Amino acid sequence: MTCKAELMRQLTSPSGKQEKQQYLHFRWQHLRAPWHQPQGSELDNLEEISHHFMITDKDNHIIAVARLHQVNQTLGQVRYVAVSPAYQGQGLGRQIMVACEQKAGELGLHKIELNARENALAFYLSQGYTNQGKSHVLYDEIQHYKMEKVLAEPVLTSAVQQLVKTWYATIPMSKAMGIRVLSATKDKLMTSCDLAFNKNLHDTMFAGSINTLATLTGWGWVNLQLEQQGLSGDIVLGKGSIKYLAPIPAHAYAVVDQTNIEENYQNVAKNKKAKVHIVCQVYSGDILAAEFTGTYVVIPKKGEE
């Protein structure tokens, strides 16, 4: 019965205007309305640059929510965690917190902090958070406690570490930008850079930095694939274009996902050129801010022909 019930639920992020409105209404309904706060009080100025999570039931009704905000390059903050009373005690709180922590890990964050209501202390303690003491009192009656959890640092392979060294040694701009690998799996590569260095006069991320981050992320994907397959060659960008879709006022990350790639390295093994078509997406929170499309050419090294 439990397994069947779990299959009827879905953990995702709200998308589309109507779903986002339902998500925010749930948040207000469970975290603000009981204390006679008006709609809108469930919002703050970090919504657009945060990561939002929700769990829905078999009828697509929202039954749990949470939000993760990246404070800096190593720290994340979870806020607005709520589970419908009808579904409490069924593991949804744990499930949505795991989602927040997994996303934090993908972003290369080392620690999560949150402010827990007094009646939720036991839950967060059971999830590995430590109580740092009282923080604030909400609406003059709800005592909160500051809690934090140190996350396991991502393990980057020697190939990934070498990739970053190659960037820094051969492309000085990459080091100045503070480009780093957040996570690397067989299906996905995620990178980021130092926002403070890459801001423009509007206090948002410089378009040139966005383009450079995306271009190098695509280059890095090809580099890692060649390394994994025991191949080598010079990687050059044959053609590239980028669409800027939204400003980036906070920390950004670039993603290359295998589902958005056309690649075949057999020619390299035959000492011939190979083309790789890649789409790299740059996000700020849950917002897709830019999309880079590039064709990379792998040229076998002359000494191996």
Fold of 158-304: Thiol Ester Dehydrase; Chain A (3.10.129)
**CA–CA dist 243, 239 (Å, integer):** 14
**CA–CA dist 43, 29 (Å, integer):** 12
Q: Domain coordinates of the chain in residue numbers?
A: 2-150, 158-304
- Provide DSSP, 142-208: EEEEEEEEEPPPP---HHHHHHHHHHHHH-HHHHHHT-EEEEE-SSEEEEE--GGGGB-TTSSB-HH
Tokens read off for 30:
């469970």
pLDDT of residue 195: 82
pLDDT of residue 6: 52
pLDDT of residue 174: 93
Quickly count: other Cβ atoms within 10 Å of residue 230's Cβ.
7
Q: Which residues of the chain have pLDDT under 70?
A: 1-7, 302-305
- N- to C-terminal Cα distance for the chain? 61
pLDDT of residue 153: 79
Which residues does 246 contact at the CB level (< 8 Å), separation at least 6? Answer: 284, 287, 288, 289, 290
pLDDT of residue 73: 85
pLDDT of residue 197: 85
Q: pLDDT digits over 270-279, tens only? A: 899 999 999 9
pLDDT of residue 178: 92
pLDDT of residue 302: 64
Count of H-run helices and E-run strands, the chain: 8, 13
CATH assignment of 2-150, among 3.40.50.1000, 3.40.1180.10, 3.40.50.720, 3.40.630.30: 3.40.630.30
pLDDT of residue 2: 42
